[in-house]
């Protein structure tokens, strides 16, 4: 298994009351495959991604990654994330003053980053758009640049937050197909409230009020 | 190609943000250095004028040698002082001179510059000791001839061959009429020559018949001579003494008030500029909050993000400061060639230690305020709230 959680919990204060965003989640994900987490807004699925990627620190339970506990130190978690993980955020968060090419390069970690970026540009159908800044790209093109950035470091696992939220159906399908292709090399975990994009998933989880259940 | 997160990439891709900051710092360096540069010009004017006190101390009677009644009244005292001065062990040689002054236009109004009339026998010793050279013409050979400093001639719009004196110009303080036969410079070309040399016919070496005694101290005896002269000044009320120390003290007193005003201006301008640039930096930082949140979420360490952002600020501040120094020097160069040099006035420059020091608080304070604000904001940044688009 690439990643495994044991009673993973995230609780935080919202005003004076405590909120349990992730409640004792147990899950296992292998080295490759396309996995989906379904759930309505506020069910805790994005929080779960932040926990799995180490962006957030759990308030209970543990995460085993590559056979070892995810490090406690923020710096070590950052290093691991940069080296071995990718993230496609719901809002693409591309850097506006950089070109598409440079935005993808931001995700790269080694000297092969430039070559890898060239390959990704071609694979993602972004040829000819390399020098364009994000504000001159369509929503689908921006999403593909964000995907490119997530895969630029040859990640072992990629977390994708609502990949089709701001796209039309046709563009959304294209994006899902891309992720599906990349899941042959890495574990792709996507959270969504759109059931249709998980039709060909290798595994689907359902999340409700912070609790996770495998449904296929 | 530069790395996407290199400082140079940021500068090249954000010219609209970087150029205003560079421009503000550049102009502020010019603005803040103007007062100090003018002060520096005034300082050099004065120090050049009193340069010869490094070599000669002067002693003169407190009443005019022409008012015979006064002289007779103090004749005995004057003769005693004359005798004691000539017996001073710390004196290498004495030059007996007459002195007059001519007005020069300076940044701080009209100021008198000395014309020292020395006998032919003493002149060579005097000019060699002070380091005076003939730039044009010759030294005066009769009482109606005079040689003036090159910058004096420029200031008064005169040339060798012209005449000067109260007889031909009512407003001229140099009494009589003299033909200008030579232009003088200092062997140290940086000094502005504001001294004139005339011809003294009177062969008497009595203090009562001379306007001035110029006393050259023996090597290593300058302090001893200054003390001895000070004692004589206290003992006999008929003489006044100028030594290197007394002249320096007088200049320091005059300039300390100016210096305080300049520092006050410096503080106000620095604070105004600093707060405006710091505010601009905070605005730019807020505009880039998404970028910093994204980088932290992708796994870039806080140390990397803070270091990169602080380096961006520091480089733009140092660059702005450097450009400010260059720009100021260019502007001063133009002003000098238009206004100062043609009038023989010491020009403005930012590359003088005091003026240069005046420009340093700007980049220093901007760096502290800007980097401090950015550092504080970055250390408190929560990447999750940024990527979730929460406030």
pTM (2 decimals)? Answer: 0.80
**How confident is the model at residue B298, as a pLDDT?**
94
Judged by a CB distance cut-off of 8 A, whether residue A83 touches chain B is yes
Q: Do A78 and B296 touch (CB under 8 A)?
A: yes
Kindly identify which residue of chain B lies nearest to residue A84, measuring between CA atoms: B299
SS3 B95: strand
Q: A-B interface: how many C-beta pairs under 8 angstroms?
A: 59
**How confident is the model at residue B71, as a pLDDT?**
65
Mind telling me how many Å the CA of B22 is from chain A's nearest CA?
A: 19
User: Which among B184, B179, B207, B253 has a CA at the least distance from the CA of B94?
Assistant: B207
Kindly identify which residue of chain B lies nearest to residue A85, measuring between CA atoms: B298
Q: Which residues of A touch B5 (CB under 8 A)?
A: 106
| ipTM at complex level | 0.93
CA atoms lying within 13 Å on the CB side of residue B363: 24
**How confident is the model at residue A181, as a pLDDT?**
92
Q: Which residues of B touch A103 (CB under 8 A)?
A: 4
**How confident is the model at residue B253, as a pLDDT?**
87
**How confident is the model at residue B371, as a pLDDT?**
87
User: Which among A63, A64, A47 has a CA at the least distance from the CA of A10?
Assistant: A47
Mind telling me how many Å the CA of A88 is from chain B's nearest CA?
A: 9
Q: How far apart are CA B304 and CA B292, in angstroms?
A: 10
pLDDT digits (tens, 9 = 90+) for A26-69: 999 999 999 999 999 889 999 999 999 999 999 999 999 999 99
Least CB–CB distance from A98: residue in B4, B293, B389: B4
**How confident is the model at residue B257, as a pLDDT?**
83
Mind telling me how many Å the CA of B309 is from chain A's nearest CA?
A: 15
The list of chain B residues with pLDDT below 70 reads 1, 63-72, 390-391
**How confident is the model at residue B78, as a pLDDT?**
86
Domain coordinates in residue numbering, chain B: 7-47+252-387, 51-244
First vs last C-alpha separation in chain A: 18
B215 backbone dihedrals φ, ψ, rounded to 5°: -105, 120
Judged by a CB distance cut-off of 8 A, whether residue A97 touches chain B is yes
Q: How many residues does chain B have?
A: 391
Least CB–CB distance from B297: residue in A75, A79, A87: A87
Which tokens is A124 given? 């993602």
In DSSP terms, A62 is beta-bridged to A6
pLDDT level of residue A179 (50, 70, 90 thresholds): very high
Judged by a CB distance cut-off of 8 A, whether residue B284 touches chain A is no
Q: Do B9 and A95 touch (CB under 8 A)?
A: no
**How confident is the model at residue B1, as a pLDDT?**
63
Instruction: Tell me which of A76, A89, A113 to substitute to probe the interface with B (most B C-beta atoms closer than 10 Å).
Output: A89
Q: How far apart are CA A161 and CA A140, in angstroms?
A: 15
The contacts of residue B270 (CB under 8 Å, 6+ apart) are B32, B361, B362, B365
Is the CA virtual torsion B44, B49, B51, B53 positive or negative?
negative
Kindly identify which residue of chain B lies nearest to residue A95, measuring between CA atoms: B291
Q: Which residues of A touch B379 (CB under 8 A)?
A: none
Radius of gyration of chain B (CA): 30
Q: Do A56 and B9 touch (CB under 8 A)?
A: no
Q: Do B301 and A78 touch (CB under 8 A)?
A: yes
Q: Which residue has the higher pLDDT, A92 or A23?
A: A23
Q: Which residue has the higher pLDDT, B188 or A120?
A: A120
pLDDT level of residue A209 (50, 70, 90 thresholds): very high
């Amino acid at each position: 298994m690439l990643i495994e959680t044991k009673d993973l919990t995230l609780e935080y204060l919202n005003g004076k009351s405590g909120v349990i965003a992730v409640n004792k989640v147990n899950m296992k994900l292998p080295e490759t495959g396309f996995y989906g987490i379904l759930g309505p807004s506020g069910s805790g699925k994005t929080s779960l991604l932040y926990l799995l990627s180490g962006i957030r620190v759990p308030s209970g339970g543990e995460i085993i990654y590559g056979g070892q506990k995810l490090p406690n130190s923020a710096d070590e978690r950052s290093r691991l994330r940069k080296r071995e993980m990718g993230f496609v955020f719901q809002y693409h968060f591309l850097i506006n003053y950089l070109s598409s090419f440079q935005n993808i390069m931001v995700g790269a970690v080694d000297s092969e980053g430039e070559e890898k970026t060239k390959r990704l540009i071609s694979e993602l159908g972004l040829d000819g758009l390399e020098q364009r800044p994000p504000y001159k790209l369509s929503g689908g093109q921006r999403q593909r640049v964000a995907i490119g950035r997530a895969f630029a470091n040859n990640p072992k696992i990629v977390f994708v937050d609502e990949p089709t939220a701001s796209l039309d159906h046709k563009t959304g399908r294209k994006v899902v197909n891309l992720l599906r292709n990349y899941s042959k090399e890495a574990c792709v975990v996507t959270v969504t409230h759109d059931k249709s994009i998980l039709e060909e998933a290798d595994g689907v989880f359902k999340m409700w009020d912070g609790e996770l259940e495998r449904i296929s | 190609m530069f790395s996407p997160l290199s400082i140079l990439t940021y500068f090249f891709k954000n010219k609209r943000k970087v150029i205003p900051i560079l421009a503000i710092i550049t102009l502020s360096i010019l603005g803040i250095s103007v007062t100090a540069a003018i002060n520096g010009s005034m300082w050099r004017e004065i120090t050049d004028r009193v340069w010869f006190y490094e070599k000669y101390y002067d002693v003169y009677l407190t009443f005019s040698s022409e008012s015979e009644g006064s002289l007779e009244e103090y004749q005995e005292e004057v003769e005693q002082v004359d005798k004691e001065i000539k017996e001073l062990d710390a004196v290498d040689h004495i030059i007996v001179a007459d002195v007059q002054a001519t007005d020069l236009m300076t940044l701080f109004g009209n100021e008198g510059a000395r014309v020292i009339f020395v006998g032919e026998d003493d002149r060579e010793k005097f000019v060699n000791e002070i380091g005076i050279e003939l730039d044009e013409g010759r030294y005066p050979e009769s009482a109606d001839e005079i040689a003036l400093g090159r910058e004096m001639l420029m200031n008064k719009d005169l040339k060798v061959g012209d005449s000067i004196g109260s007889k031909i110009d009512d407003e001229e303080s140099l009494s009589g009429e003299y033909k200008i036969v030579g232009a003088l410079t200092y062997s140290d070309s940086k000094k502005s020559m504001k001294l004139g040399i005339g011809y003294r016919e009177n062969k008497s070496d009595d203090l009562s018949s001379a306007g001035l005694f110029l006393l050259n101290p023996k090597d290593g005896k300058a302090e001893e001579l200054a003390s001895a002269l000070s004692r004589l000044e206290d003992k006999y009320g008929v003489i006044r003494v100028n030594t290197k120390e007394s002249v320096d003290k007088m200049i320091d007193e005059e300039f300390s008030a100016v210096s305080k005003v300049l520092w006050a201006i410096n503080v106000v301008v620095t604070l105004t500029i600093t707060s405006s640039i710091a505010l601009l930096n905070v605005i730019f930082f807020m505009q880039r909050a998404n970028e910093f949140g994204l980088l932290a979420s992708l796994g870039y360490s806080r140390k990397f993000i803070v270091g990169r952002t602080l380096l961006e600020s520091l480089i733009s501040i140092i660059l702005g400061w450097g450009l400010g120094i260059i720009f100021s020097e260019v502007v001063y160069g133009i002003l000098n060639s238009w206004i100062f040099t043609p009038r023989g006035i010491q020009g403005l420059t930012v590359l003088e230690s005091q003026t240069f020091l005046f420009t340093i608080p700007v980049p220093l304070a901007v760096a502290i305020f800007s980097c401090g604000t950015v550092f504080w904001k970055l250390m408190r940044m929560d990447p999750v709230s940024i990527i979730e688009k929460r406030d």
